[in-house]
Structure 1
């Protein structure tokens, strides 16, 4: 094989078999879903990366990012952070129901447990407060000595980022209720201040003491006002924004859960990109006219040939689930979601095709319908255009990727057994693989992403022989301490899925380990 450097900032190089060449189509991503943000005592902007399982620190002057708590540590999916007066960092670990404490010397311990989807976190004068991202969520004060949590409020319609205001009251949002509330730190009846807001995700106060509210909606509105008074809004255009922290000069530093990245909004209204957005996966991929479609959990992204990725909307709300697999069939895009749904259509016009699946992952055009791998059920299904569902294969050990050749023959990968199988007769075409995932048919061969080894394999379905086409690829395999169903309430850290797609020009691979796309073509 030949070692080739990979343009676009990849850690490369990758190795390619003779006769092949590779090119970077998108990525890599410097942040894996930038969620909670807070300025640390070192002056850096610290960032909780929910989908990456990490906490990093951004030098806002140089743009350099240091990973402080890495994916090899105990975190599953951190969502928000807060600093104590002595520099101790507190991190909410949402699916695990934990609050972690990191002391200035780097020691890590559990500060609180048993919380349902802990999300928003705030520190004030030696006291720590956490709320829950759940229907009928609670607002809690954490007893740092290990005693029971004290309930300040209930009935939150998804809590999120919050802060104590200049008046000494704790301000917090109901994300799905479109409301902002406040409550006294020592208890009492909570007071509703604002209603009718578009997904308020963070409530903060700037250095001037003004109430600031950030929207998670498509416009990414940042409102300014006072408790119960009129609000004025500035549309940042950051769809899926998650949190905001204010510098001493009043600059708003905004994170983006759905698209990643960090933007800075000056007090005068100038918006600049500090860390570019990137793909959160990517997961499933499909070749479309003039480019590639990538499912990115919160949304769908189109990557034109030689162009900049274009976000096609934060579809997670439209299809009521995180997007996993994607295919193009009969002029429509078909999406599989982690909520067990199969949807077809396009941006703004999605309609359900099937529902009630266990855990659909890979999707492929099947001619007269689509093939979908139901990982949890151990099945590959065929879903016709009228929604009729039939089982093409059963008893499989965690099928993930599916593909169909021009003759209508279907294939699947099974991550449990490490195999690539033909659906019609169950024939094993490759075995002993380490976590095979995405699958595509190109040039009479099957192309399989072997996530456990960082390789793209080329499988001859007739001879049942396997060769390595590309190696050294950045694929993501979830750490052992992160559970298979890593979720709490409505939030989930999805399992990695390295999709593969093909068209007449070659093969595209989702680099789930660095947030990029790789094209493989004949040299």
Structure 2
């Protein structure tokens, strides 16, 4: 079947109920709103010495190779094995990478054989080889703050060296065989004797240092400050600091070439820059426009159909008609926590994040974070009702929780027993107000009555339904991720009709996330145009009814 329904397809395809709808839906034309990227937030970097840059892609679960001559990106290891926060090259040419969510250390030999070297290391983050071939890794977050030595061949268990030191991130061994790296929580760059298990400061006064590597002389460190967006040169002997270049905030990692070219990854902008320290010049090696687009929302009364995009590392506004992007907030440099879902209330933007286990309420005008509500139960979709009450779908527990507008009032369980709830959309104008929920595990769309939590099945037989939105005609638009398609469901009959198929949606689920992983977002404008996020492509698409074309030109 083609990627979208052709204008000759009159009646649609039925998945539930077995009968045609009384009025066939329109045919849709698929268009690009924002073009994609090879990454879903790029992180660790390493040079292979053969004209290529290795790059790790944590949420995209892949390891990539980038041709330094032209920026072309190829995939070395795809999902699910390639979930890498950092990457390094071993003495024999093997590639090693750390699985932050999986807790696994992986190795790919020059012959292409991939296997697990170590496991059960939650928050596995950075890694580096010593000159003698010994391998060291850190665990950072997810309840861990540990530096360990790991057998590169996986024959011996990891040996803990330090713990509770303040989140040691991207590091490198110096000419003195000491480990040099930043402590995120202390704003320091330190030197660690891995044999004695001791550390001492080298430089201080950073906002959030995230990575440090030596220059060719081995006398200076280049340090990234993620919050300030700075590349800083530190003279090791004195701790003297010099800002070499100013970059966008959200910097994640770096590596330095033999010619002192510094390659810098930015997870928020999903791109890689090359900095020439001699003159501070900056050029892009790999560009992107979105990072990890997931949840979508737009105001039903907005004629321009401006979308709020939960881009995991940022909250962005995207013009649905022209694809122009404006920044609303970026992680690390703001109080916002890695948004994966977004919904709109009359005065608020509500975000939820399974990544950092929180729900946040933002002022819709100023963007100020008004309230942060921790939730470690795999929070997925979230809605704000007219009275300020929040409804939160807990993907891990299968509950729909009501969080009162008054913080002191706490929360109550509206219903439980849902099988991987992900998407939510309100049905509050009905005689008995309720909310529709997609259940990614059961393949159902369920309606939950707000008065008592009673549940009724609207549609079943779907495969991994995630994103959910209400069409102006009352129909439900669902991203059916398991079949890579977009469907319309009649809430009165449960009948389902395919709008588009063959879509690039649905990364494999990853450990540490609730059912649904990175949700595929759906939103519908008053024109009837349907918007869809693609996690696999880091892109944004629209599906325009052929009877009502969208004006404006999308951005490449």
- Normalised to the residue count of structure 2, the TM-score between the two structures is 0.83
Unaligned runs of at least 5 residues, structure 2: 7-23, 547-556
Matched residues, number = 504
Alignment correspondent of 1:298: 313
| SS class of match (1:457) | strand
| SS class of match (1:190) | strand
Alignment correspondent of 2:135: 128
Alignment correspondent of 1:161: 170
Matched, 1:283 2:294: yes
Matched, 1:441 2:470: yes
| Structure 1 residues 349 and 215, CA gap change in structure 2 (3 angstroms) | farther
Alignment correspondent of 1:250: 260
Alignment correspondent of 1:361: 380
Alignment correspondent of 1:476: 506
Matched, 1:349 2:349: no
User: Going by fraction, where is strand more abundant, 1 or 2?
Assistant: 1
| Structure 1 residues 104 and 197, CA gap change in structure 2 (3 angstroms) | same
Q: What is the CA deviation profile of residues 390-422 of structure 1, one whole-angstrom value per residue up to 9, with x for unaligned ones?
A: 544432222111112462542111112111122
CA contact (8 A) 1:198 1:215 kept: no
**In structure 1, distance between residues paired with 2:240 and 2:332:** 31
Matched, 1:49 2:72: no
- Normalised to the residue count of structure 1, the TM-score between the two structures is 0.88
Matched, 1:410 2:435: yes
| Structure 1 residues 258 and 453, CA gap change in structure 2 (3 angstroms) | same
**In structure 2, distance between residues paired with 1:52 and 1:223:** 29
Matched, 1:199 2:202: no
Which of the numbers 218, 222, 227 marks the counterpart of 2:227? 218
| Structure 1 residues 110 and 360, CA gap change in structure 2 (3 angstroms) | closer
| Structure 1 residues 293 and 356, CA gap change in structure 2 (3 angstroms) | same
CA contact (8 A) 1:259 1:277 kept: yes
Q: What is the CA deviation profile of residues 192-232 of structure 1, one whole-angstrom value per residue up to 9, with x for unaligned ones?
A: 11222121111101123343343353332111021242101
**In structure 1, distance between residues paired with 2:90 and 2:99:** 17
**In structure 1, distance between residues paired with 2:332 and 2:481:** 25
| Structure 1 residues 454 and 316, CA gap change in structure 2 (3 angstroms) | farther
**In structure 2, distance between residues paired with 1:148 and 1:342:** 38
| Structure 1 residues 272 and 191, CA gap change in structure 2 (3 angstroms) | same
**In structure 1, distance between residues paired with 2:145 and 2:493:** 57
**In structure 2, distance between residues paired with 1:449 and 1:352:** 29
Task: Within 5 Å, give how 1:362-511 maps onto structure 2.
Answer: 362-369=381-388, 370-383=390-403, 385-386=405-406, 389=411, 391-405=413-427, 407=429, 408-424=433-449, 426-442=455-471, 443-479=473-509, 482-483=510-511, 485-486=512-513, 495-505=517-527, 506-511=529-534
Shift of 1:353: 6.0
Alignment correspondent of 1:10: none
| Structure 1 residues 94 and 264, CA gap change in structure 2 (3 angstroms) | same
Alignment correspondent of 1:11: none
Q: What is the CA deviation profile of residues 5-61 of structure 1, one whole-angstrom value per residue up to 9, with x for unaligned ones?
A: 99xxxxxxxxx9743223212231221221110001322000111111111100011
